[in-house]
A and B are shown apart, each in its own frame.
Chain A
Amino acid sequence: MQSRVKQIVLSVWVAAMLAAGSALANEKAEPDPAQSTYWDPIKKIMFGDREILDGKDIARVYLPLKADDASTVPITVKAQIEQTPQLYIKTVYVVVERNPSPAGGTFHFTPESGRVMIETRFRFEDFSHVRAIAETSDGKLYMASRWVKAAGGCSAPNGRNFVPPALMGKMKFKFEDETLAYDSPTLVQLMIRHPNESALASDFDPSKTPQFVRSLSITYAGKPVMSAEVDFSISENPSFRFYFVPHEKGELRAEVEDTHDQRFTQTMTIVSGMKLPGG
């Protein structure tokens, strides 16, 4: 289902590219996101006719205006509301309009996620509007967008170095705080050693399925913290930063699956007052 949607999105993207003309690729000024010819077909496929409200009071998207390395562009989506059982952000969709696979990341949260924030690194094929659509627990959609100048990240070569097979799937947790405290949002980074092969990179052999991370699921003490469906829009050695709220001694667990059906797991038992890795 997921890949079928992707295929449709891809073909719409190709059509939009043709319609928009390649001259757009070189535009220097920041265009109006409301005028984008790319967005409408993507929106139709992802959300049908649902209304999308202005997201500035719900979730905002942060990223550098001019990306320095199109293969590694940090994107952050931050909630402007607290997660409460009554009302919380359940899903954040990150759309890089002009990427070959525009819906590169879908992130799911729960009331236990604490504060909703997701920071990751994307590849950019072209200058593009980036849209973060937050879906709240009452079923409403809110959108924020930013324009980014970066080009060539998806079809650019994979990797400065090969990920040696022995290191494939190696994971690390890194924390913002030095010591763990219960009951407060704790910012953690999950790092995954993985080439996250782009289907568009020059070395991609069409007879092979490119190997990239397609899903991840993070739990703490058995409860979901964050889960995501992602693709090769994410940079090599994927990195995700997000919050969770520990209330007691428990296991932080990350499960990752790639398109070659390889599964990787990382766990860490955490307890109040412990020194947290990250420095």
Chain B
Amino acid sequence: MKNPILTLSLACATLLHGAAFAQTTPALNVVEVAPGNFAHYAGFEERSPQNLGDNANVGFIVGERCVAVIDAGGSFAIGQRLRQAIRAKTDLPVCYVILTHVHPDHFFGATAFNADHPQYVGHANLPRALQQRGKFYVNTLNRDLGDLAQGSEVVMPTVLVKDQLELDLGNRKLQVRAWPVAHTDDDLTVFDQRTRTLWVSDLLFLQHTPVVDGSLVGFIAAIDQLKAMPADHYVAGHGRSALPWPQSLEPEQRYLQLILTETRQALKNRKTLEQAVDTVGQSEQGNWLNFDLFHRRNVTAAYTELEWED
């Protein structure tokens, strides 16, 4: 407000830019899961030029001062559509983009918010994970989406969370929590205190086969801790359910616990990796989507982790 003319011209530029943007970019569908908490529920198909990498649930929380984005989607294009969905709800600026972990289906939309100059919030381990995987993820995204991947790039977090961090959106405080290795080694959850809404991201899979890319033992330990967190509303990283919190954690817990028990049993019976992959957890087949894509990989991860247990 120090320079009203500049402020006005900036506002006009933003409006003009916004109009052009609105014509070309449809908004993602969002649902208001709790006052001020908007979630977009993604599909379950593999990433393709048709879905542009819209494969992970994303969303945003609106405070009185600004907006926090929780995951930005699997490509720049999806990030733009999420930004469009935010613009349809509020004119407040985006001050935080919280990146819940390194996986590309949650991550690559981040660049769509560069123009908002937000703080990018990530787990203390996220920079290392991005350094290790970023290039590989960019290559495979380009392979799958071709030209439609354009603009999707690795964004380094500007704020790191080691343990807990409180973010204030203006009369709305968010608690960001960094987890020990579980789904990945860089998982964050976000809790909106005002509505007691927990954004669980990929520490909770519903419908979609859970994925272990960190530690099976750690994932199960995280679920135990999550169960103790009070929440009236929640958003999973994939899928949705009518189950209340924390009962909604139970299908995933049952699945992971079964893999743990049966893989340990296979190791005890001196079974090989191949034998374990063929037998462990098969009774869960009918309960999950994308089971063929992820289950056997989970057993491989479980076996190669648990074979070092004494």
Hey, which bits of chain A sit against chain B, CB under 8 A?
Answer: 64, 68-69, 72, 74, 76, 119, 121, 152, 155-161, 172, 174-176, 178, 191, 193, 201-203, 235, 237, 239, 241, 278-279
Contact = CB atoms under 8 A, between A and B. Distances in A.
B18 to A, nearest CB: 36
26 contacts: A64-B277, A68-B277, A68-B296, A68-B297, A72-B304, A76-B274, A121-B273, A155-B139, A158-B132, A159-B132, A160-B185, A160-B213, A160-B215, A160-B305, A161-B185, A161-B215, A176-B270, A191-B308, A202-B131, A202-B134, A202-B136, A203-B132, A237-B308, A239-B273, A279-B267, A279-B270
B297 A74 contact: no
B213 to A, nearest CB: 6
Contact of A69 (B181, B268, B297): B297
Contacts of B297: 68-69
A64 B274 contact: yes
Nearest to A177: B270
Contacts of A235: 304
Nearest to B140: A152
Q: Which of A68, A235, A241 has the largest number of chain B CB atoms within 10 A?
A: A68
Contact of A202 (B135, B213, B269, B304): B135
Interface of B: 129, 131-136, 139-140, 181, 185, 213-215, 267-270, 272-274, 277, 296-297, 299-301, 304-305, 307-308
A155 B143 CA distance: 14
Contacts of A152: 136, 140
Nearest to A279: B268
Nearest to A155: B136
Interface pairs A-B: 3 shortest CB-CB: A68-B296, A202-B135, A203-B132
A37 B213 CA distance: 35
A159 B129 CA distance: 10
Contacts, number: 73
Q: Is chain B's interface secondary structure helix, strand, loop, or mixed overall?
A: helix
B133 A241 contact: no
Nearest to A237: B304
A119 B272 CA distance: 10
B273 A74 contact: yes
Contacts of B308: 172, 191, 193, 237
Contact of B132 (A68, A72, A76, A202): A202
Contacts of B272: 74, 119, 241
Q: Which of B277, B299, B300 has the largest number of chain A CB atoms within 10 A?
A: B300
Q: Which of A74, A76, A157 has the largest number of chain B CB atoms within 10 A?
A: A157
Nearest to A22: B143
B155 to A, nearest CB: 16
A191 B270 contact: no
Given A64-B277, A68-B299, A152-B136, 6 more contacts: A69-B297, A155-B136, A161-B185, A161-B215, A201-B132, A235-B304
B136 A161 contact: no
Nearest to B218: A161
A132 B65 CA distance: 65
A279 B269 CA distance: 6
Contacts of B304: 72, 235, 237
B131 A203 contact: yes
Contacts of A69: 296-297, 300-301
A245 to B, nearest CB: 19
A67 B52 CA distance: 26
A150 to B, nearest CB: 11
A277 to B, nearest CB: 10
Contacts of B129: 157
A157 B296 contact: no
A201 B134 CA distance: 10
Given A69-B297, A74-B273, A202 B214 contact: no
Nearest to A176: B270
A7 to B, nearest CB: 23
A218 to B, nearest CB: 19
Contacts of B273: 72, 74, 121, 239
Contacts of A156: 133, 136
A191 B301 CA distance: 16
Contacts of B181: 161
Contacts of B305: 160
